[in-house]
Structure 1
């Protein structure tokens, strides 16, 4: 049974008992009312969502309306459902048996569908990669990458246990996915919240966390220098230019930084994007100027995150966790 033949949905809830006792899957947004009263297209769901939640951010509108539309119209009878229950740490696999039903008697989860639960398995029965996929931050989502593993669990001879087998080969990919997702999140938040002068202040704070004394130039200055930094009271002086533009940095832009430097100075160029091929060649041939692109900037943020100011740690909220990685040979 392949992923192309059967659609598989993942779903989360705060009420495990409701799902298991009443044999349903359900989502909230009770203020939306009966979803079947909304025209069966995504634009209509977005319009209704905007009316009901006028303070919702643009991204939340698209995500929330999209999940509601999929729950009402895209899920079909016969589709499979993967539901990880937190109360007993099991993975519950079921099949959709009913069309969408609005149940106003429910306190929170008013958007419902009947489900027949086929199997309840411990989380240890699945690979780390499969568990990561159903750990999505979304309430409702498609299961694709590890669909065959979940469907295979329905086989009567299924007796997998990743706690007793040889090393889980999905661990490395899972760890990489988590790291890359974190990097993407940081870069997106920087691009979204810190434009122009705001990014200059952030870079100055990051340099401070790294042990430098920094001074941010006055806004509107024509020197082309955004930050001046010193490691201590003595030279060398480090002149910093910061660009929040989405386009790659050209060689001429870096040359303007070098033109502002005096003998003995060092230069630092920071961008959220990257450098053109010629600009990178110029940096390689000019060792007194260091270029930092978006990826390298994220590396520094992760390394010095705990020493950033409260303002920026709240802007980019991260939690330190331990994740499994492959054993070294």
Structure 2
């Protein structure tokens, strides 16, 4: 028995899932794969069909989305547990009771469905450990939860604890920051933004807008930073993967001007901030902006390393994982 998360468009259709006792996915909304005779066990076939429908999608996006479709069809089995988050801190939890079927009844944009028996409703995510809360922040629609024992226990199942691997990470090299930074600079801007999103997720950030679609003003991420259930902060983030070009006061003023009224700002770069930029970020009478330079970003990366690797794997982002190529000691291969 396994545990999965199945999102419903950031919780917009979770009530529909609950009221109609099903879960579902989209992507091929008008296509009935059962009547069409599709080989749903063939991932390459699904990739081919996906590329026919979404011609402009990059390879990474194709792999991620088809991976989710394949997981929903083939890996989520009868008896498995499914968590569907609301657009609040609450969760809907149940178990799969039926095989894949197709029904386009306009109750949701997800006609590829599986029947559910809901076990618990309005479960507060903060009742779970921080690792599970980090997992729940994944932006994928469909993914597996590794910390299944804790979920089973919350449902009253008597499941023995699995042993957690001890990585025993040590950092004893003065040049490690430079080595890690060089690896980051090998990433293209999109990949680096993804890495930033994974780091933010492990720190409690949950996006409310899709990456790359936040809006004007150079804002790359928008969402809520949950501080261990104690406080929630509306946060917008700008990312600049500069190496030698330091960030000046002009960029800080421009970023501040793009911030929404009730949001705080965070500016992340691999380079440094000029003195006037630092002064401007804390200017009296103006909205403060948190600055994270290259050294601070790498420090956060080291502290969150295990969790970051987990969420990259969770997102099926093998391309990014391969490009990072860090050993457990964080020394690049």
**Which structure is higher in RCO with an 8 Å CA cutoff and minimum separation 6?**
2
After TM superposition, the score normalised by the length of structure 1 is 0.49
Greater C-alpha Rg: 1
**Structure with greater helix share of residues:** 1
